[in-house]
Amino acid sequence: LGQEMGVWINNSDGVTPAIGKSLPPGYSVFPDYTNPRTVEWWTQLCLEFKDVLDYDGIWIDMNEPSNDLTGQLPGCAANDINDPPYIPSITDHSLAQKTLCPDSRTYLGEHYNTHSLFGWSQTAPTFHVVQQATGKRAFVLSRSTFVGSGKHAGHWLGDNKSQWKDMHYSIIGMLEFNLFGIPFVGADICGFSSNTTYELCLRWMQLGSFYPFSRNHNAEGNAAQDPAVFGAEFAKIARATLRIRYSLLPYLYTLFFESHVHGNTVVRSLMHEFTSDQQTHGIDTAFLWGPAFMVAPVLQEGARSVDVYFPEATWFDYYTGRKIPSTWHKTYATVYAPLNKIPLFIRGGHILPEQAPASTTTKSRLNPFGLIIALDEHGEASGSLFWDDGDSIDTIENENYFLAKYTFSAGHLKTEILKNGYRGADSLKYNKITILGLKLRPHAVAVNGGAVRRDAFSYELNGVRAPSS
């Protein structure tokens, strides 16, 4: 059909298709998504494929476009466009390396000019056809992206290796892609090529639990690396870390709402939040979810502690809720991180919505909500919650969502409903409100003026827990 419709990238003659080698077993042609005819062809095939396999989303790969040969058959002609005066420092010093010859013809012009747009041009049509085929919000994952791709797809950081330095680089890649406007990003957890090890994979499961796009992915022929394969202890640790991710999903989802509407980053560097603190500028070993949640993973083999930099702010240990001593501010502090723990911190001044996790989000989204209220030095905090049905199209444009703003001040939590357009939120409850950083002993708690029973709240002062009576 593609041949009949003339949708391939052509050789420089403009009529014969470029033939290279992508995935095995045979030779490949390369659809030219800059051509409107190709979009028609692709749309038709994706719609038909829905009847073969009932998909929710489409993962588009090898779309650099990637080719196992240097240029298509029989190789690139010697001319100025294939061998321009300047070639960046790339493998084989050839622009055709692992792709097509620069003088190949696409609808929008020579491949020399459109190469970086191959993945981008495939992304929007894929997004639209997934929505057409499923009637739901599309999930598209693309290996090749360009400016603007974030509107239609997420991205994984490509074929990394199961090695400690690649795990570290993944933080840099994730921070960069958030600046590029492609916030739904992550690397292949435990590494893609070569065999992983128990400890690397465990530390990567912990870090990867906090990638916006969180996926353990392996190359064919490697030793298995899924979280169940290393035994019960490993599985228990991976499960615990993933449950933290899933319990904070309402916070993460709200950050995605803000990114979608205002262009904010979802994951950001410490520099992004503490710009005037020069010591934060070089930090690529820790990162934040939005303004308020710091992840400081272990990135070295054998390490059982992490040196964490705490910018000037109130910080709480996520696990204990205890305040980080102010003597640790603006300096690196050594934080204990045994194999079963990834250091996590909450920044005072912020309110994070949470929800009890479950094995799928279909189930967890019915669970009660909670709030983590982390107070700043003035005893204040604020935050918000965006909530909708999770998979219908254009809920923001159609105002089918719930949006609440929380403020805590002088011992009072106030919730303002800014948008009340999602009926599914009506039946949801809060069952746990955690306040970190209270300076005085709470004598009583009231909700909308009505006293809360003494056995429904407990508190801890100076590390001593007062039993609920």
Residue numbers at the binding site for ligand NAG (CB under 6 A): 6, 10, 14-15, 32, 35, 105-107, 157-161, 166, 169-170, 173, 187, 195, 222-223
The amino acid present at 425, given as its one-letter code, is A
Tell me whether residue 16 or residue 409 sits nearer to ligand NAG (CB atom): 16
Tell me whether residue 184 or residue 253 sits nearer to ligand NAG (CB atom): 184
Minimum gap (Å) between residue 101 Cβ and ligand NAG: 14
Minimum gap (Å) between residue 439 Cβ and ligand NAG: 43
Question: How far is Cα 182 from Cα 267, in angstroms, rounded to an integer?
Answer: 10
Minimum gap (Å) between residue 456 Cβ and ligand NAG: 46
Q: Is the peptide bond before 74 cis (omega within 30 degrees of 0)?
A: yes
Tell me whether residue 106 or residue 314 sits nearer to ligand NAG (CB atom): 106
Minimum gap (Å) between residue 380 Cβ and ligand NAG: 38
Tokens 């409107």 sit on residue: 36
**Residue 441 structure tokens:** 């002993």
Question: How far is Cα 198 from Cα 423, in angstroms, rounded to an integer?
Answer: 45
Residue among 123, 152, 116 nearest 46 (CA): 123
Tell me whether residue 166 or residue 273 sits nearer to ligand NAG (CB atom): 166
Question: How far is Cα 402 from Cα 86, in angstroms, rounded to an integer?
Answer: 54
Tell me whether residue 176 or residue 277 sits nearer to ligand NAG (CB atom): 176
HEC profile of 41-75: HHHHHHHHHHHHCCCCEEEECCCCCCCCCCCCCCC
DSSP conformation letters of 81-122:
TTS-S---S-GGG-TTTTS--TT-EETTEEHHHHGGGHHHHH
Q: Strands, DSSP E only, in 99-245?
A: 105-106, 109-110, 139-142, 154-156, 185-186, 188-189, 215-216
Consecutive H or E run containing 169 = helix 164-179
Tell me whether residue 164 or residue 345 sits nearer to ligand NAG (CB atom): 164
Tell me whether residue 157 or residue 252 sits nearer to ligand NAG (CB atom): 157
Question: How far is Cα 32 from Cα 9, in angstroms, rounded to an integer?
Answer: 5
**Residue 61 structure tokens:** 């790969």
Minimum gap (Å) between residue 91 Cβ and ligand NAG: 12
Tell me whether residue 104 or residue 247 sits nearer to ligand NAG (CB atom): 104
Minimum gap (Å) between residue 449 Cβ and ligand NAG: 52
Residue 291's alpha-carbon distances to 128, 295, 296, 449, in angstroms, are: 32, 12, 15, 32
- Residue 110 main-chain phi, psi, to 5 deg: -70, 145
Question: How far is Cα 207 from Cα 82, in angstroms, rounded to an integer?
Answer: 42
Minimum gap (Å) between residue 39 Cβ and ligand NAG: 13
The amino acid present at 76, given as its one-letter code, is C
Minimum gap (Å) between residue 234 Cβ and ligand NAG: 17
**Residue 186 structure tokens:** 């992550």
Tell me whether residue 19 or residue 351 sits nearer to ligand NAG (CB atom): 19
Tokens 């992840």 sit on residue: 295
Minimum gap (Å) between residue 11 Cβ and ligand NAG: 9
